[in-house]
Amino acid sequence: MFRKRELRASIVLAAALALPAVLSAQSVTLFGSLANFDVLNDTGQDAHGFEIEVQASQAQAYGTFNATRYGGATFQATPTGGVIVRWAAAYDAATQRWSATTVTPASFQPTFGHSCVLTAIVGCDHYGIYTLYYSPAANTAKYYWLVEDINNPGTLIRFAGSQVQIPHPTVTVIPPAQVGNPPQVAFEIVVPPPPPPEVPKPVAQFGDAKWVKVYKNELQRQVGLDELLADNPVVPADAGHLETAWKLLQFNPNTHGNSGVLRNQGGIGSGSKAVVRRYEFYKYSGTYDPLDHSATCGGDGTCSAPLDGELGDFIGAQNAAANVGVPTVTVTKIGSGTVTGANGKINCGGSCSSTFNQGTSVTLTANAGGGVFTGWSGDCGGTSLTCTFVVNAEQNVTANFAAQYTVSIGRSGSGTVVATPNGNDRQLNCGGACSAKFTAGTAVTLIATPAPGLKFTGWTNGCTGTANTCTVVIGKDTSVQANFK
């Protein structure tokens, strides 16, 4: 199992907060889309890296899975507004060797989509990417193996044969057709068209076919990229979570809008905060029509399940997830005080929770009243009385207040009493001021010193005994008498 510190993310979403059991049907927002996958090197040659090219104009940040044989990823912007995420080995010119290699295996068994994380499985790697949205916009991503450029040793280029045949799911939230119905969370996989043949054929060509199996799970909390691996129970894998037994995916040049598309969608359940799907991809090893390259499955020709000889080698497994919810700020107070802000939407003592549009900047202000403000926790931090942040999830803020109480020192006879707190409260020094306020829970140590020629005879009221020191833990207004003669 790999720890979270092995992930690098450009931004981390706040943890999910408790909301009412049923999410507001009109305000559910896509907080983030995640994809982690095992991939087989089927290029027929050694690879020394991997690339994901993402097109997502609404994406504000990316996070990657970095527990790979190639270490962490690098990012490069594309002219079209996307980004190329690259994992690559280092090249030693002196030895003419690469620091890491993914070979082509002789055979490959199916995985759960999270079995190839720095393992001894030959020819198998694991990669992942996380995309954060501030609005429900679809994205596309293409995967490529990186191989050595034979014309420029020591440099890497994309494998020229084809891109990796593991599709990347796109996720959108579809508002309900009628008020009161749940919104739809749609996962969609689109198979790209085939490259044009070197010698054009008179009939439009179908693409290569592949079989896919789909499992689905819903959770009442958000999930992270690091959970989509290592046999984590959030990843559906059993028959009880099987959503699509088999489907043959193939680009069809004679249809538009739904050509080679696998769409899995449905209303999210009550209280669900994450939808997780696992896809298994296999090559189609049946026959093709010699004219247009369409798959000619056996049996009734519906291609509803692979028959003998039609299920080819395992290609890879894709674990995908979407975090959804209502952009919300909830404030919790500990101790007496008030929290206001967010253009009047937050007023604790009154309203302590409110919904916002995704991306709204919110400022909260703490007022301790007669006590003291000790700091923020949750999605705010520090001890400043104000906190400003952007709402990009279901966010929780705690304002911590503590009561203050007065310690009063009386003296009988001549002498001094010095009070030293364990904290940052003011010191009380009698000869000077003989009362001061201290935060509740402060341990205050009093030291009595008699005037020359006199002695300290003992404490009364809040302290007792004849030792010249006394420690009292402040929980109320306290009076102490020091006696000298």
Residue 6 pLDDT level (bands cut at 50, 70, 90): very low
Mean pLDDT calculated for residue range 205-232? 89
307 with 357, same domain: the answer is no
Give the model's pLDDT for residue 229.
72
Q: Which runs of E-coded beta strand occur in 422-468?
A: 428-430, 435-439, 443-450, 456-461
pLDDT confidence of residue 344? 86
Residues 476, 366, single domain; the answer is no
Together in a domain, 426 and 376: no
Q: Is the pLDDT of residue 438 over 70?
A: yes
Instruction: Name the one residue in this structure whose structure tokens are 């690091």.
Output: 226
Lowest model confidence (mean pLDDT) among 104-118, 277-291, 301-315: 104-118
Q: In terms of domains, do 56 and 191 share one?
A: yes
Q: Whole-angstrom Cα distance, residue 143 to residue 37? A: 11
Mean pLDDT of 173-198: 80
Question: Tell me: the pLDDT tens digits for 297-315?
Answer: 988 888 889 999 999 988 8
Q: Which of 365, 382, 402 is the last residue of a domain?
A: 402
Q: Mean per-residue pLDDT for 15-39?
A: 59
91 and 141 together in one domain: yes
Instruction: Please identify, among 325, 348, 375, the residue that sits at the C-terminal boundary of a domain.
Output: 325
Confidence of residue 457 (pLDDT cuts 50, 70, 90): very high
Which H, E and C letters describe 383-428, residue by residue? CCCEEEEECCCEEEEEEEEECEEEEEEEEECCEEEEEEECCCCCCE
The pLDDT, as a whole number, for residue 135 is: 45
- Please tell me whether residues 53 and 40 are part of one structural domain: yes
Beta pairing partners, 446: 419, 470
Residue 3 has pLDDT above 50, yes or no: no
pLDDT range class, residue 470, cuts 50, 70, 90: very high
User: Hey, what amino acid is at 380?
Assistant: C
Counting the structural domains of the chain, the total is: 3
Instruction: Say if CB 65 and CB 226 are below 8 A apart.
Output: yes
Q: Global pTM?
A: 0.69
Are residues 14 and 98 both part of a single domain? yes
Give residue 34's pLDDT: 86
Q: Does the CA dihedral 73-77-78-83 come out positive or negative? A: positive
pLDDT band at residue 1 under the 50/70/90 scheme:
very low
The pair of three-digit structure tokens given for residue 335, joined into one six-digit string: 């101790």
Instruction: Give the separation between CA 17 and CA 405, rounded to whole angstroms.
Output: 34
Distance CA 218, CA 321 (A): 9
Please tell me the predicted confidence (pLDDT) of residue 468.
Answer: 92
Tell me the percentage of the chain whose pLDDT exceeds 70.
87
Average pLDDT for the chain: 83
Does position 2 have pLDDT exceeding 70, yes or no? no
Domain boundary among 371, 402, 433: 402
Question: pLDDT for 52-70, tens place per residue?
Answer: 988 754 444 567 887 788 9
The answer to whether residues 27 and 172 belong to one domain is: yes
* 213 shares a domain with 137: yes
